[in-house]
A = this chain, B = another copy of it.
Amino acid sequence: MSTHPFDAALTLQPLAEGRWQGRTDPGWANMVGPFGGITAAQLLHTACIDPRRAGEPLALTVNYAGAVTDGEFEIEAAPVRSNRSTQHWTMTQRQGGQVCCNASAVFAARRPTWSAPELAMPEVPPAAQVAIEHRPTPVAWPRRYEFRFVEGGWPDFRNPRELSDSRTVLWVRDEPPRPLDAQALAAIADVFYPRVFRRRQRVTPAGTVSLTTYFHAESVALAAQGNRPLLAVAHGRRFTQGFYDQSAELWSDDGHLLASSHQVAYYKE
Contact = CB atoms under 8 A, between A and B. Distances in A.
Interface of A: 58-59, 61, 63, 65-66, 80-81, 83, 85-86, 88, 90, 92, 98-100, 102, 104, 106, 108, 110-119, 162, 164-166, 199-200, 209-210, 212, 214, 216-218, 235-243, 245, 247, 249, 256-257, 260, 262, 264, 266-269
A114 B200 CA distance: 9
Contacts of A164: 118
Contacts of A242: 85, 108, 110-111, 113
Contacts of A92: 80
Given A81-B98, A238-B257, A58 B264 contact: yes
B66 A262 contact: no
A118 B61 contact: no
Given A110-B240, A260-B262, A262-B262, 17 more contacts: A59-B209, A61-B210, A65-B88, A81-B100, A81-B102, A85-B266, A86-B266, A88-B102, A108-B243, A116-B162, A118-B238, A119-B237, A210-B212, A216-B238, A218-B241, A237-B249, A247-B262
A249 B262 CA distance: 13
B111 A241 contact: yes
Contacts of A119: 235, 237-238
Nearest 7 A/B pairs, CB to CB? A110-B241, A65-B81, A65-B88, A59-B210, A119-B237, A238-B257, A212-B212
